[in-house]
Structure 1
Amino acid sequence: MTTLADPVPGGRPEDLRRVAALTAGLAARDVRGIVLAYVDTAGVCRIKTVPTARLAAAVSWGVGMSPVFDTFLADDSVVTTDVLGSPDGDLRLYPDLDRLVVLAGQPGWAWAPVDRITQEGARHPGCARTFLRRTVTDAAERHGLTFRAAIEVEWSLGLDSAPAGEFVPAVSGPAYGAIRQVELSDYTADLLAAFEAQDVPVDQLHPEYAPGQFEVSVGALDPVAAADRSVLVRQTIRAVAARHGLRVSFSPAVSAEGVGNGGHLHLSCRRDGVNLHAGGEGRYGMTPEAESFAAGILARLPALTAVTAPSPASHLRLKPSQWAGVFTAWGRETREAALRVVTGTAGRREQDANLEVKPVDLAANPYLALGCVIAAGLDGLAGARTLPGEITGDPARYGPDEAAALGVHRLPRSLPDSVREFRADAVLRSALGPVLADAVSAVRLGEAAAVEGLDDAQVAAAYRWVY
């Protein structure tokens, strides 16, 4: 379980009771330091580290870090809002001990996600993890809902010996091919061992479509823990790859052409432990609440792309007919639809039925992405929204009249277009709060300005090794 309570100065009593034993256990395993990790608005994981002996101090009083990182861009330049982006102020990073993990791919290190609070002990309004935790808590209190979530992770493996900045695939062979698995058998076996050591259950690990590309699917958790797990999975993939002389890119578009790396988001709603996406009387076994939740997500997809596809490289990936989900459409097991209804196999539907949101990549802050998708779904539930007609096949084939009748529209084609949709969406902005919503807009527009005048190949190169 994830700790859902806010940190407090001086430490939560239950954490203070645990930390001495945890520290001793870590020291016995030769863990020398703790990585304290969070993800900024641009989707970059930022960290501080403390020696293992300082874990108790971090749990009690946090670790200082500037709030300026809320408006960092991917290239480490800074934009501003009315309250963020200045050199002033300080925040405290508090590790979540329930999510602390010894890193199998980095001997001597453990890892923990953090929440950020102000020096006065209040929630930091720019903390994405706090936003997601608050969203999940409010859904439970107001609607009696809980969620199960998971984020697929796709990555491109390159040779670390390649010329600086270039991507040279580390493996040959066809998409999904056995050749790739054989060539990187030692790497993938070590990766599975690291996940097992870190208690990360793997559903499947396989070569993917693009050159040098692999994908891993991991077990579902509550949304906060699922976002934490996504960050941990990427840390592990990168660390194990480095030990094999390989370099990893999670960028949405490693190259200007072809299929990029996605980070598809899976989500299901539960009430009293019962999956609302199975066993109902609606389409494909959905309950009325599950349909309304899905309809809420579908209705807000244009605005959601400012959060789920937040990089200029994201828009190199979002192309029709490449399974990226670039149209406002839904369908059962339809991989070209932006919202895929996954029913699961007969006999497993009560456990497995869920929604897959496809226009999501790994430049997205997973806490923001999950929180905003849930907020959109809850708005649909509150308004008893209904799903439009289902699509089958590739929506790119529809003519204008047929597409309009089905409510099928192309998602925004650029970051400025996404920001316009986002700024017009009162539901998402209200869910995030003004500080975080303004940070999202400012960072997206800053990224767009940073690549102005670059061609697609230059954009891909600019973000290739950022994520």
Structure 2
Amino acid sequence: MTSSRDRAERASRARVAATRIEAEGVDAVALGWVDNAGVGRVKAVPVRQLEHAAQWGVGASPCFDHFLVDDAMAPGGGPVGDLRLVPDLDRLTRLAAQPGWAWVPVDRYAQDGTPHPGCQRLFAARTAEGLEGRGLAVRAGFEVEWVVCVEDGTGAGAGPAYGMRRLIGASDYLRDVVRALQEQHTRVLQIHPEYATGQFEVSVAAAGPVEAADLALLVRHTVLAVSARHGLRAAFAPAVTPSGVGNGGHLHLSLWRDGRNLGHGGLGPYGLTREAEAFLAGVLAELPALLALGAPSAASYLRLVPARWSGPYRCWGLENREAALRLITGSTGEQANAEVKCFDAAANPYLAVGGVLAAGLSGLDRALRLPPEVPGDPAAADGVERLPASLAEATAALRDSEVLREAMGPQLHAAVLAVREAESELFEGRTPEEIIDATRWRY
């Protein structure tokens, strides 16, 4: 339960922050969270109301836990109850591409100040704390892919995949994306044309798990805003056209202890320490259920198909882009990490990272070892399991996962299942074109 001292301390910090950003030209603050369907939701306050919002929170119905991608509601949601959105002032950011605005992620609490058990951001924080209790830390980062479209949904930006011609055609636009991110103190590592027509990718520096999810949202919000200022639309959906490769939301992560990357210098495969191997083996063990968190849309399974480097097989391999879990040793040991390739941007990033950490913790608890590596195309290897090929299959795996049920808690686990089941029913029998049309602009 939140104490009066905690409220007073939050109010004091917010007063200082509001004075600073108002002097920088900010008039209003967007308070953002992500629902279980992966849709970003928001309430906003004038900058001079930030102090009150930090002290007492802003009201929001718990029904958002059951919202679907089309704004309908899954069974379990209803008109009764209220939660408080409490901004995390450490993440308050003036938005460079939205003059007069700032953004801050929120945690959700009950009226009495107790944590809401359905809050996905608090779930991610709990799993990170579970690692910290072992003296471990995770550095994580999401790749952000999107397709730049004109109004009718056609990809904009002609030129070959990864081609300089496409970069030249979009140079002013991409420059503005980079400038906006850098003005927001986000360290950009790479930005480049991707495979599909009009597709681009940006990667930012790794951070702690919750901060990495915050950054994934901030990058996407920034891309949306820059696109709008250029008269364009940005689609982050897993599938934008039926024949396209789609947009991934790959999660990179590395395990650390006492400032040392545990992905190198050990006795496991390719220098993994036993702790890092156990962690990754836990992730691999739970991947079918994790898909319901990291690939949560019916459109996700239009992307997650063989021969598109989307990671549709439950296996791992060194630099194997067709495996769901790609091991990367890097040019130095400090760069060693693993990439979960089967995730996409329809995911609530807090659910995705929290689920992966919970699976990794389970692997540590059981001292798991990785199965044999798949060094080539998994489709040509014997005995390699295909990951769920539909949202219904992934939902069934989540329903059966004791690891994720325990980590998420009964309320969050049940709400996510309700949304996945309702969306499976919503899109049952729909054509790929119909699924894409219904989801292209939602994430």
TM-score norm. by structure 1 comes to: 0.93
Distance in 1, Cα, partners of 2:226 & 2:244: 26
Distance in 2, Cα, partners of 1:417 & 1:391: 24
CA offsets, 1:120-149, max 9 Å, x none? 1111011000111111112211x2111100
- 2:201 corresponds to which residue? 215
Distance in 2, Cα, partners of 1:159 & 1:8: 50
Deviation at 1:14, TM superposition (A): 4.1
The residue type paired with residue 437 of structure 2 is: A
Distance in 2, Cα, partners of 1:8 & 1:188: 46
The residue type paired with residue 114 of structure 2 is: A
CA offsets, 1:372-410, max 9 Å, x none? 001111111111111111011210122xxx22xxxx200
| 8 Å CA contact retained: 2:149, 2:234 | yes
**Correspondent of 1:65 among 20, 44, 60:** 60
Residue 119 and residue 202 in structure 1: after superposition, are their counterparts in 2 closer, same or farther (change >3 A)? same
2:412 is equivalent to residue 436 of structure 1: yes
Identity among equivalent pairs (%): 53
2:413 is equivalent to residue 463 of structure 1: no
Deviation at 1:415, TM superposition (A): 1.1
* Within-5 A mapping of 1:191-270: 191-270=177-256
- 1:3 corresponds to which residue? none
| 8 Å CA contact retained: 1:40, 1:365 | yes
Distance in 2, Cα, partners of 1:86 & 1:21: 37
| 8 Å CA contact retained: 1:11, 1:59 | no
| 8 Å CA contact retained: 1:7, 1:115 | no
Distance in 2, Cα, partners of 1:10 & 1:70: 30
- Larger mean CA deviation between 304-313 and 8-17 belongs to 8-17
Deviation at 1:19, TM superposition (A): 2.1
- 1:135 corresponds to which residue? 127
| 8 Å CA contact retained: 2:237, 2:346 | yes
Deviation at 1:21, TM superposition (A): 2.0
Distance in 1, Cα, partners of 2:14 & 2:396: 46
| 8 Å CA contact retained: 2:262, 2:276 | yes
- 1:44 corresponds to which residue? 39
Distance in 1, Cα, partners of 2:139 & 2:253: 6
- 2:22 corresponds to which residue? 27
Distance in 2, Cα, partners of 1:58 & 1:465: 30
* Within-5 A mapping of 1:14-413: 14-81=9-76, 85-141=77-133, 143-160=134-151, 162=152, 167-345=153-331, 348-350=332-334, 352-398=335-381, 402-403=382-383, 408-413=384-389
Q: Which runs of 5+ in 1 are unaligned?
A: 1-5
Deviation at 1:258, TM superposition (A): 2.2
Deviation at 1:91, TM superposition (A): 0.3
Local SS of the residue matching 1:329: strand
| 8 Å CA contact retained: 2:295, 2:346 | yes
Local SS of the residue matching 2:206: coil
| 8 Å CA contact retained: 1:9, 1:60 | no
The residue type paired with residue 364 of structure 1 is: A
Local SS of the residue matching 1:112: strand
The residue type paired with residue 243 of structure 1 is: R
Distance in 2, Cα, partners of 1:8 & 1:455: 52
Residue 73 and residue 279 in structure 1: after superposition, are their counterparts in 2 closer, same or farther (change >3 A)? same
Local SS of the residue matching 1:328: strand
CA offsets, 1:101-133, max 9 Å, x none? 000010000000000000011110110001111
- 1:427 corresponds to which residue? 403
The residue type paired with residue 419 of structure 1 is: T
Distance in 2, Cα, partners of 1:258 & 1:61: 46
Q: Which runs of 5+ in 2 are unaligned?
A: none
Deviation at 1:95, TM superposition (A): 0.4
The number of residues matched between the two structures is 443
Distance in 2, Cα, partners of 1:425 & 1:288: 24
Distance in 2, Cα, partners of 1:136 & 1:260: 30
| 8 Å CA contact retained: 1:9, 1:121 | no
| 8 Å CA contact retained: 2:26, 2:99 | yes
